[in-house]
Structure 1
């Protein structure tokens, strides 16, 4: 599990003074990128090798609101991993109170858009993702 912090910016709030719902998905991406960096799989390096990891699904469950200047702690972790795709879970908290729970599902593609089977073509990455999933299943 990886922890990432985001400080809510003024431009991320709406006319009511609360964070617009679309920003939570952006924060998921920030936390996921940070998580992958921490486990040794930097997005820029993967893209330089001709790999991409598109989002193929998103689930969001908004529990409470956040406002300008709040510090949101985001935990990112692997919920599931198969050879074809993986799912990242996100728990967002403000002052130890859950404000958001989400998931994003991803696959990996090569330059031609062909799906890459992680277990076969990126076995070390597959193993690291599966290990993270097992650690968070406890």
Structure 2
């Protein structure tokens, strides 16, 4: 499922909370929410044609340089969580994603954000200060650029 507002594109996927992701009380350990963000990015990328494998094909990697999360309510073993991943458009050579995670009662349990930059995998892993052509093409394809 996807939605689109001006300057942003989103995708919604679900994950079942596994036993290994919880503490002895059956509550999801806070560090696992970063993995749920990655699950959301992976699903977003596959759906919208900008996955890590797509980026690698063009000779780039996009390491995370910033991440944050705010926890409101716990998820528990056996819950089915809904992850809404939102791409926020930027003029800079980076990818910004925001996340909203909901429990099965549709209560917002966590929000977060990650920022990724482009590094050249063909050369020395140099930081790209300009938006790579393949990413400009993708932005135009999904309606974020009118050029």
- Give the TM-score normalised by the residue count of structure 1: 0.86
8 A Cα contact 2:58 2:134, kept in partner = no
Runs of 4+ residues over 4 Å off in structure 1: none
Separation in 1, partners of 2:78, 2:64: 28
Q: Which of residues 65, 90, 113 is equivalent to 1:103?
A: 113
In the other structure, the counterpart of 2:3 is none
In structure 2, do the counterparts of structure 1 residues 115 and 128 end up closer, same or farther at CA, with 3 Å as the change threshold?
A: farther
**1:31 CA displacement:** 0.5
Separation in 2, partners of 1:45, 1:12: 29
Give 5+ residue unaligned stretches, structure 2. 1-9
Deviations 1:62-101 (A, max 9, x none): 0100111100000001234223212100000012100000
- The alignment of Structure 1 onto Structure 2 pairs a total of residues equal to 132
Q: Which of residues 109, 118, 126 is equivalent to 2:131?
A: 118
- Give the TM-score normalised by the residue count of structure 2: 0.81
Separation in 2, partners of 1:6, 1:16: 20
**1:46 CA displacement:** 2.0
**1:129 CA displacement:** 7.0
RMSD: 2.0
**1:119 CA displacement:** 5.8
In the other structure, the counterpart of 1:131 is 144
**1:126 CA displacement:** 3.6
Residue 76 of structure 1 pairs with residue 85 of structure 2: yes
Give 5+ residue unaligned stretches, structure 1. 133-138
In the other structure, the counterpart of 1:135 is none
In structure 2, do the counterparts of structure 1 residues 121 and 45 end up closer, same or farther at CA, with 3 Å as the change threshold?
A: closer
In structure 2, do the counterparts of structure 1 residues 126 and 115 end up closer, same or farther at CA, with 3 Å as the change threshold?
A: farther
